[in-house]
Structure 1
């Protein structure tokens, strides 16, 4: 009797702990162990100072939490940014200045202009035209992919192309299931990113890389050369990406025939001419595209041009939407996430983490003197394709890696133009995390038309080796046949 009473008392004493212990899932324990191991590994490294260690730990922890948990991405980014500031690895200005990033204002303007396109009826009319000419969802996707790919030759910015595509995709989402909407939210920015390689003006990093090549090596890559090399590769990798993503999100059962009744007011759209609001919106889009394309002439960046357009559409009397409609259209949750996530990436540069990574990689590359071509190409691709994992800015990746790779090419006696082209094409791959690209961020966690970070990671696990393999095949076949040599 005494023994039983003691056992009961023991269980009573420890019972309150059980719910608390059971609350922690295996996933939570695994993630916690990984983060603790990461903390120990980073602080064991003497190559980084205190600020660099804190920044690197916060950035990698954010990546782990974005992929491994359901905690809101914005909350994770904001919390870890505050973590860096509290531990004195950065000043509070890091938080305040995060809202002054170009991408924040670009997205703000994109949401407002997207609402204007939606409210004017222009997006619905365009989607109606696509649906009318498509018998099945597959045909509709093909048409959509072709339009997004074609924008590469007219809008020299992945962000600009994403901003223009967003209202169209949102309207198109009406004809798809929830799973297919997730696929659209991933498919659109990935096509934008994969098609970037088609032209020299497809990304600002291309111009930066070629300028560095000219200033340091006296060589260059012409627009025509890039076109010859870039367009076939961009078409092939875009098609491969298209079918891989389609395999993830569209099954045979879901590829049902389309009917025009899936859109609102299809009868009135079929016969009615463009309204005044539609004409005004269409004119504004052409002006915006012109402003984006001529950035080098007038000197105003894409975000500033976009905000001018956003302000115009909200003008009283003459605008397309009201101020309140414009403000309500902005996803402030996403704005905060983008601002803080971008700041997490920029602090790596400020604290010397990126310089340390660059130095380590540079020392590693010098071991390849006299190595066969396939090993050199594969090494350059492995470094540049994976560079988006720790340097979120496309432009920063070019500024960081191109000088080192040019020195590397000179030291082992290979063609710097070839190394520059391969490196810039490799850096165009930035699909693993939402923060890796502004185009991906625009479609991340945005209402029904959104995707999960885990979905993106799964696709990247397949797409990244496909991308590298495709580049390897192109180098040893088409690119060599058209004059590219190491």
Structure 2
């Protein structure tokens, strides 16, 4: 009895300490949200809907990073708050499930399950895991090369998912948590490799042609982008490995498994390989057939579930979908759309471009730094990659003309800068795909911490390339 009483006496201070810590954190978060409300109230240039949308967005970001409340609950709750405040209609909530990214992810989960059930994912993962070079280095190289063939970060993330689900069995839980951040970040860092690496590239170059009659050819883009992309991708890889990978559990260099590559493909594996090839071809030729990525992904998923001809049943496909993640993505995408429709993005664009006007008489190095700071941080308030290009490129073209600069160089630098979107899960569809995804998931605060290292690194490498390699090859504002 005396021992139990002593134990209770020891536990009570610890328990009280934990409660005090929780109370302090909750009060801090509440104070920050109240501060958002007070500041936004005095922004006269925003409409009522815009103020509510901006407040909702900032509050959601804070809750995602600072609390353990399920991300889907936060996103859906914020949407409901916006509707209750009459800043939007209930259609905002209903239409959230009609976003292309939602159906892209549903199809991606189904295709990933088919690849797994066919045995192809296990075969491919064994090839990657064979002894030799670092598993992580090889995996990074594969993700980097995929940017030249698959014109979508979402598509590359979807293809990498089944392989990662097999690789994860060779790593510890902490290593898998690191891998869940490393994979999508590598995919995003390698986006700049090719002109088809992101839709925003094509849109930006198209706006350049329309505005001033200039362009950036496919080959010219490769000349400028490939050395930079390879450099930033592997620097990011080593930075993440240094900061995220558990030091005491770093055994990935020693992984060795039995040889299985010589075994012939089974009928299921052959069928799956053909279907995946067709889906990738459909993704690559979107501009020819006109069907969006989400639609072609769903068509591919259905082919895998056809009775007698598919590799899995409809029930198995539906059960493979992470509906928790789907609801979060739908609500988060709707929140991003609200920022555009309520005028918040237009207001931000106007304010930022007004600030840029001050720098028209500044030295070249300062102008470059300002452009990079604006574009690399644009993902913090405009979650859609495509929307960032549509909003910022026309204004940056006008800015380039105002300083009598090389507009093509400014557009290229801006598009490369906008490719950095590694701060919050909603900053990219590739990040969303891995967020809260079962055994391969990460926490928003860990991604934010990693961004504090990667953002300065990204800007520093861009500056280094601008004043060396890019200047030597004719890129100069």
* Bin of the TM-score, shorter chain as denominator length: over 0.9
Matched, 1:194 2:189: yes
Cα 1:372–1:23, aligned 2, differ >3 Å: closer, same or farther?
A: closer
Residue 414 (structure 2) pairs with residue 419 (structure 1): no
Which residue does the alignment assign to 2:398?
407
* Paired residues of 1:81 and 1:340 also in contact (CA < 8 A): yes
**2:113 aligned partner:** 115
Which residue number corresponds to residue 39 of structure 2?
A: 41
Partner of 1:168: 163
Q: How far 1:251 sits from its partner (Å)?
A: 3.9
Q: How far apart, CA to CA, are the structure 2 residues paired with 1:60 and 1:173?
A: 34
The count of corresponding residues between Structure 1 and Structure 2 is: 461
Q: Does 1:428 align with 2:428?
A: no
- Choose which of 262, 269, 272 in structure 2 pairs with 1:278: 269
Which of 101, 117, 122 does residue 103 from structure 1 map onto? 101
TM-score (norm 1): 0.93
* Contact kept? 1:295, 1:302, Cα under 8 Å: yes
How many angstroms does 1:456 deviate by? 0.2
Instruction: Give 1:30 shift.
Output: 0.7
Structure 2 length as normaliser, TM-score?
0.94
Say whether the 8 Å CA contact 2:361–2:403 is kept in structure 1.
yes
Counterpart in the other structure of 1:222: 217
Match of 2:150 in 1: 155
| CA distance in 1: counterparts of 2:245 and 2:49, whole angstroms | 46
Distance 2:459 2:345 in 1: 23
Q: 2:75 aligns with which of 77, 90, 95?
A: 77
| Aligned counterparts of 1:394 and 1:184: Cα–Cα separation in 2 | 23
3-state SS of paired residue (2:98): coil
Indicate how the Cα distance of structure 1 residues 294 and 271 shifts in structure 2: closer, same or farther if over 3 A, else same. Answer: closer
Tell me the distance in 1 between the aligned counterparts of 2:193 and 2:114.
Answer: 30
Equivalent in the alignment of 2:287: 296
CA–CA distance in structure 2, aligned partners of residues 389 and 438 of structure 1? 14
Look up the match of 1:28: 26
Give deviations 1:12-70, integer Å, cap 9, x for gaps.
xxxxxx99x95952111111100001110001111111110000000010000000000
Could you tell me how far apart the structure 1 residues matched to 2:243 and 2:20 are? 34
Which is higher, the Rg of structure 1 or of structure 2? 1
Aligned counterparts of 2:348 and 2:153: Cα–Cα separation in 1: 26
1:93-133 alpha-carbon deviations (Å, 9 max, x no partner): 00011000000000000000000000011011011112224
Instruction: Show the 5 A alignment for 1:445-484.
Output: 445-484=436-475
Question: Which stretch shifts more, 469-478 or 24-33?
Answer: 24-33
For 1:1-16, what aligned pairs fall within 5 Å after superposition? none
- C-alpha RMSD of the superposition: 1.6
Q: Is the 8 A contact 1:366 1:412 kept in 2?
A: no
- Change in Cα spacing, 1:45 to 1:259, as seen in structure 2 (3 Å) is closer
2:305 to 308, 314, 318: 314
- 2:374 counterpart of 1:383: yes
Q: Is the 8 A contact 1:406 1:416 kept in 2?
A: yes
The answer as to whether partners of 1:131 and 1:258 remain within 8 angstroms in 2 is no
Deviation string, structure 1 residues 438-483 (Cα, Å, up to 9, x no partner) = 0000011001111110110000011001101110110010000001
For 1:452 and 1:24, how far apart are their aligned partners in 2?
18
Aligned to 1:66: 64
Correspondence for 1:329 among 307, 320, 332: 320
Residues 128, 42 of structure 1: alpha-carbon distance in 2 compared, 3 angstrom cutoff: same
1:57 pairs with one of 47, 55, 58: 55
Q: How far has the Cα of 1:260 moved from its partner?
A: 4.4
Q: Tell me if the contact between 1:159 and 1:439 (Cα under 8 Å) persists in the aligned partners.
A: yes
User: 1: distance between equivalents of 2:354 and 2:293?
Assistant: 37
Q: Secondary structure of 1:431's partner?
A: coil
* Distance in 2 separating the partners of 1:155 and 1:481: 30
Q: Compute the displacement of 1:259 (Å).
A: 4.4
Q: Which blocks of at least 5 consecutive residues in structure 2 are unaligned? A: 1-15
Q: Partners of 1:456 and 1:144 in 2: how far apart?
A: 20
Q: How far apart are 1:248 and its partner, in Å?
A: 2.1
**In 1, distance between residues paired with 2:304 and 2:343?**
42
**Pairing 1:365–2:359 present:** no
* CA deviation after TM superposition for structure 1 residue 249, in Å: 2.5
* Cα-to-partner distance string for 1:351-394 (whole Å, 9 max, x where unaligned): 00000000001111111122111111000110000000000000
SS state of the match for residue 25, structure 1?
helix
Distance 2:132 2:335 in 1: 43
Displacement of 1:183:
1.2
| Post-superposition offset of 1:420 | 0.2
Checking the alignment, whether the CA contact within 8 Å between 1:103 and 1:303 is kept in structure 2 is yes
